[in-house]
Amino acid sequence: MPGTAAPAQVTIYFIDVEGGQSTLIVTPDRHSFLIDTGWAGDGSGFSPGDQRAARDANRIVAAAHDAGVTRIDTLLITHFHPDHDGGVSELAQLMPIGVFVDHGAPDPGAGSNVPETAAAFAAYEKVRATGTRHLMPRPGARLPIAGIETTVVSSAGATLAQPLPGAGEINSSCPAQAPPPRDPYENPRSTGVLVAYGAFRFLDVGDLSGAPLYALGCPRDLIGAVDVYLVAHHGGPDVADPATFAAFRPRVAVMNNGVSKGGARVTYQALHRVPGLQDVWQLHRSAAAGDANFPDAYVANLDESRAYWIKLTARRDGSFRIENPRTGAWHDYGARDLKARSRGSLSPIPDRAPANPG
């Protein structure tokens, strides 16, 4: 709640945009950092319309209001696909946007795979021109956001040249080469960020897949252990490589899949076997994943009748809470023993059911 007595914490909303991405990060002094804007209009293709009726832009505004913010200070567009940049025109009608961060322009081949790319980018460019600044940071750069440390780990196909402090161990579970990406044009160009607040670390790489995702974890881990990993590319089948999870060593994974978009069964199966992974939270139950879905208590939306977000609050000591507003339940995760951040056994462990939240 806004007010002087509120404890210092960072809040992250994983907003349900039906298989696109929109993640809102609000700092203790209520700077707002939005990563992607979901889809335009009613969520089909790219068809922006009346902002008052725009599905995803209004869901973003609802999350912002829940956090007590009335503007987006910094917007990162991870890459130029309409499930990520589609909602920006309508959002800009509802809420001012200050700084724009991206990797410039779509790959020239992007339209051959996603036909709406050019129209969505043209609309985005118009909105971007109204911002206070436009940044195109390279991997290793820090974004100018007060209260959190935001490090760019990938952009326009490039990745960190050196390990972040504390990272750099050899990852013995790497395959000989990167699994091929489903989309070879824009997804591998995603701008990914590591957001740190004290000891708390959150990794969001957009739809990074193929060689750049592999490069962050193989042959050496360049990121180090994170508390929370937003599984790349909505948990599609091209991000299921166990070597990635072995490199990032998340305590919690979040899946921004829709009912039928992302959320591949093979990725859920891989997550069930990640050593040290305590829980997986899903924005939607995945139709394709079947019995590999995690328990309903960890799922924000069992169908498309409502749109619940997943809300995370993190403290400087690295402890955090994740809430499921659909059920009213939450789970608290304590500060991690720093010694536990070092790599343990990389051999798979058997499937096990997560504990109940709350």
Contact at 8 Å (CB) between 223 and 194? Answer: yes
Closest contact distance (angstroms) between CB of 10 and Zn ion is 24
From CA 76, how far away is CA 124, in angstroms rounded? 12
Which of 212, 217, 18 has the alpha carbon at shortest distance from 107? 212
Smaller CB separation from Zn ion, 238 or 323 = 238
The residue among 117 and 159 lying less far from Zn ion, judged by its C-beta, is 117
Q: Closer to Zn ion at the Cβ: 36 or 73?
A: 36
Q: Is 268 in contact with 242 (CB distance < 8 Å)?
A: no
CA distance 112 to 11: 38
Are residues 310 and 283 in contact, defined by beta-carbon separation less than 8 angstroms? yes
The residues with which 292 forms a beta bridge, in sequence order, are none
Q: How far is the CB of 84 from Zn ion (least distance, A)?
A: 6
- Alpha-carbon distance of 184 to 290, in angstroms, equals 28
Amino acid (1-letter code) at residue 249: R
- Out of 18, 83, 85, 323, the residue judged to bind Zn ion by CB under 5 A: 83
- Between 261 and 336, CB nearer to Zn ion: 261
Token duo for residue 320: 């955090």
CB closer to Zn ion out of 39 and 308: 39
CB of 233 to Zn ion, least distance (A): 6
**Residues 177 to 196 in contact with Zn ion, rule: CB under 5 A:** none
Min dist. Cβ of residue 207 to Zn ion (A): 4
Beta partners for residue 284, in sequence order: 301
Helix (H, G, I), strand (E, B) or coil at 251: coil
Among 37-45, 83-91, 209-217, 293-301, the segment contacting Zn ion (CB under 5 A):
83-91
# chain residues binding Zn ion, by CB under 5 A: 2
Least distance (Å) between residue 234 CB and Zn ion: 6
207 is a site residue for Zn ion (CB under 5 A): yes
Name the minimum Å distance from CB 209 to Zn ion: 10
Residue 102: phi and psi, rounded to 5, are -165, -170
Phi, psi of 13 (to 5 degrees): -105, 120
CB of 23 to Zn ion, least distance (A): 12
Distance in angstroms (rounded) separating the CA atoms of residues 348 and 245: 11
Nearest alpha-carbon partner for 271 in 310, 316, 237, 240: 240
CB nearer to Zn ion: give 195 or 230. 230
204 interacts with Zn ion by CB under 5 A: no
Nearer to Zn ion, 83 or 227 (CB): 83
Contact track, Zn ion, 37-76, x by CB under 5 A? ----------------------------------------
Pick the stretch among 43-51, 77-85, 86-94, 175-183 that binds Zn ion (CB under 5 A).
77-85
Q: Which residues of this protein are in contact with Zn ion, per CB under 5 A?
A: 83, 207
